[in-house]
Amino acid sequence: MRPVTFLADNEVTLLRSGTDYFPALIEAIEAAQYEIYFETYIFAGDDTGQRVQNALMAAARRGVVVRMITDWFGTGNARVKAMHAQLLEATVEHRVFNPWFRRGVTRTHRKICVVDRQVAFVGGININDDMFCDYDHSVALTAPRWDFAVAVRGPLVAAIEQEAQAQWARLGKMGLFKRVRLYRELRKVNKIAAQSTVQAGFVVRDNLRNRVAIQRAYLQALGKARKSVLLANPYFAPGRKFRHALARAAERGVEVVLLIGVGEIWLQDAVAHSFYPKLLAAGVKVVEYHKTQLHAKVAVIDDDWATVGSSNVDGLSLFLNQEANVVIKDAAFAHSLREQIELAVADGVVVHPQDFEHVGRFRRIGYEVAFVFYKLLMRVFSVGKYA
């Protein structure tokens, strides 16, 4: 498997939830002089969304080239139409990803912003208020949504911008030969020798050249794990390879902790529960998070490998949707993210093997049926890649 290409001499800042993310994002947009590439899954019409939209429109009005992509399904048709008219009036170039499922069921789930080729933001944070559910903006949360992004400065920004430019081009009118030439250009990777302690790589998943790139990055790191694995994700429904990699790591003595968000979607919870017995038997520690909506897609492996991004550990993210993660090899960054995950683990509920002794027969069967149904759907949508 091709490894992640790490570029040295980057500055990577961890941003926790909207409290850190939105001020940093808006500050960068307001300071922009030349160009902004912006892509997101959800762009809500709440106060948070309006602040970000206003900043983007103000940048366009002062002459900055602003190119913006929003997902049609994630943002919603009514919101997309209303926002589109406002953006065009402010000279923001706006394209909508896969309206009315014209290109199948694939969504862009990525959250990317690149400003002036100087700073890039990547993570799991949508453009919506921290205190309301992202799947239902009328439902208030008891605590701010638990989520992360990173701000990147340094050589990796060029790779992130290249992908943002390519996505913009793909959504425009391009002939076949231009598309082939674009993909060839994107396969060219400029490698930089490691000269500093901070190294980072940008990993995307799509349905052409990077169909399993993010899963590969995880599997390689899990295979090399020697001390610990901390993985936090809201939707845990990976394929067999991923589950086996977690179990094998635990069986060889690695401390493996899964922090899983629950309570949003019954089917998703049931599928995750169907995996618990085997994972627990292998020595994996499973913790369910109930304090608020867990939306982060983060992991720390051993002392210096960490990832922050948009990719869930489920069939949709690993095998169908377009996703983007940053992988960081740096002890200080890994330590800071580890601290955040450990605090959330302390707020969670540990699942013990004996908890399943009291689960009724019909509920157990329901978990298995849910998994079979989910697996069938994912194999159809991902053309057999999910297994």
Asked if residue 190 is part of any domain, the answer here is no
> Is 68:281 a contact under the CB 8 Å cutoff?
no
CA–CA gap between residue 16 and residue 294 (Å, rounded): 12
List pLDDT tens digits, range 17-48. 999 999 999 999 999 999 999 999 999 999 99
Residue 130 and residue 98 share a domain: yes
Asked if residue 373 is part of any domain, the answer here is yes
CATH code (residue 290): 3.30.870.10
**Comparing C-alpha atoms, which of 167, 184, 136, 200 is closest to residue 337?**
200
Per-residue pLDDT at 182: 42
Asked if residue 279 is part of any domain, the answer here is yes
List pLDDT tens digits, range 190-231. 443 334 458 999 999 998 889 999 999 999 999 999 999 999
Residue 214 and residue 328 share a domain: yes
Per-residue pLDDT at 387: 79
Residue 178 and residue 42 share a domain: yes
Per-residue pLDDT at 213: 95
How many C-beta atoms surround the C-beta of residue 357 within 10 A?
Answer: 7
Please name the helix (run of DSSP H) or strand (run of DSSP E) that holds residue 156, with its range, or none: helix 156-170
- What pTM, to 2 d.p., does this model score? 0.93
Sorted by sequence, the CB contacts under 8 Å of residue 180 that are 6+ apart come out as none
> What does the block give as tokens for 115?
């400003």
Domain boundary residue, one of 126, 149, 182: 182
Asked if residue 113 is part of any domain, the answer here is yes
Task: List C-alpha distances in Å: 45 to 40, 41, 53, 107, 137.
Answer: 13, 13, 9, 20, 9
Residue 106 and residue 211 share a domain: no
> What does the block give as tokens for 302?
């051993």
Residue 322 and residue 276 share a domain: yes
Backbone angles phi, psi at 268, to 5 degrees: -60, -45
Asked if residue 133 is part of any domain, the answer here is yes
Asked if residue 241 is part of any domain, the answer here is yes
List of the chain residues with pLDDT < 70? 1-2, 174-197
Active site (catalytic) residues: 109, 111, 116, 295, 297, 302
- State which residues form the domain around 283: 201-381
> Is 310:113 a contact under the CB 8 Å cutoff?
no
Residue that has been written with the tokens 């009291």 in this structure: 358
Domain boundary residue, one of 133, 151, 182: 182
Kindly write down the DSSP assignment for every residue of 55-102, as one continuous string: HHHHHHHTT-EEEEEEEHHHH-HHHHHHHHHHHHHTT-EEEEESGGGT
Residue 143 and residue 41 share a domain: yes
Per the structure, the count of domains in the chain is 2
Asked if residue 195 is part of any domain, the answer here is no
Asked if residue 295 is part of any domain, the answer here is yes
CA–CA gap between residue 313 and residue 271 (Å, rounded): 12
Domain boundary residue, one of 130, 153, 182: 182
